[in-house]
Structure 1
């Protein structure tokens, strides 16, 4: 697992997805070397980098050109650039040009979660996996409801990570942003 500090980031493209969250997403995805992965809203590329080291192919998608640029730099530095295709577009339009895949990571939907999930469902291989890290409460509710309407049995895990900082009186725990991970497997 790569350390958060190894990633290039900017004020306009924050990230990466925290190391502990990346570890949980890798575990919950059950990624293997034959999998094709779409990373929608790739940002700095934290997930694209980690999945490029384990999967056959990764599509890194973001509508922000600076995010695509930073993601490329992080893949050159830390990942397997040869396994990644970059698509500078919103999730809906990008998915229209991808045939099938095994894992969908939906980290940035730009308020298009429902149409993205419709497309993901239509292109996800049998027993494919969907993982949605949610910062907003509304996103978890929307994700769970949409997945249920598509016939999935969504699960959710709430993750709160705190990091320790040694100070003169002891160790102070500093909370990182809590995140919910909604995940489901195609039947």
Structure 2
């Protein structure tokens, strides 16, 4: 699979390429899926999902960031039918999505309510702040969505005095959930 090209910047959050790889593994998208992203920002997740899912709906509340999503989407090859919406979730969310990614924490409880009400079967949320991770974990649990919480940190090597040292990215808490029965390792803790 080709790399994601992001020639336009929107000050991306914690969804770096390594995080996206885990995210996409947890979502297990296929060509019949309708994937929805809340908070598209650079469009990196939208682009990668559009290479796997049949349809993608990306929401972004900030017009300048939605423009960056659009420009970065145009700079990449995707196969899915992609719809970009300037909206603040839960408004603008489709009722027929199979998988949902929350790239931000704004209004996440209302978005989770929508996921439960519409039967979205895979839900993933990335969080970089510890306090939000705790509250979001409880919100997932209260709605019967929580399958697992994964915390990980990525470090990249660089040369230092003729040897390799590492710079660490912020840790990411990934909440993974489902509204229906899961099979395989998706539901294991």
TM-score normalised per structure 2? 0.88
Matches within 5 A, 1:11-90: 13-15=10-12, 17-80=15-78, 83-90=81-88
Runs of 4+ that moved beyond 3 A: 1-4
| Cα deviation, residue 81, structure 1 | 7.1
Q: Please name the residue that 1:124 is paired with.
A: 119
Q: CA deviation at 1:136?
A: 1.1
What runs of 5+ residues in structure 1 fail to find an aligned partner?
A: none
Q: CA deviation at 1:9?
A: 3.5
Q: 1:2 to 1:158 in 2, by over 3 A?
A: farther
Question: How far 1:3 moved relative to its partner?
Answer: 4.7
Q: Is the helix fraction higher in 1 or 2? A: 1
Determine if contact 2:150/2:174 at 8 Å carries over to the other structure: yes
| Count of residue pairs brought into register by the alignment | 179
Q: Is the 8 A contact 1:8 1:70 kept in 2?
A: no
Alpha carbons of 1:14 and 1:84: their partners in 2 closer, same or farther (altered >3 Å)?
Answer: same
SS in 2 for 1:92: coil
Aligned-residue RMSD, C-alpha: 1.7
Distance across 1 between alignment mates of 2:3 and 2:157: 15
1:139 Cα deviation (Å)? 2.1
* Structure 2 partner of 1:154: 147
Deviations 1:90-139 (A, max 9, x none): 012112xx1211111001232x11111101211234xx100001111122
Report deviation, 1:2.
Answer: 5.5
Contact 2:51 2:80 in 1 (8 A): no
- Please give the per-residue CA displacement for 1:70-98, whole angstroms capped at 9, x wherever unaligned: 11111111142762101101012112xx1
State TM-score, norm by structure 1.
0.89
1:32-68 per-position Cα deviation (integer Å, ceiling 9, x unaligned): 1111011000100110000000001111101011111
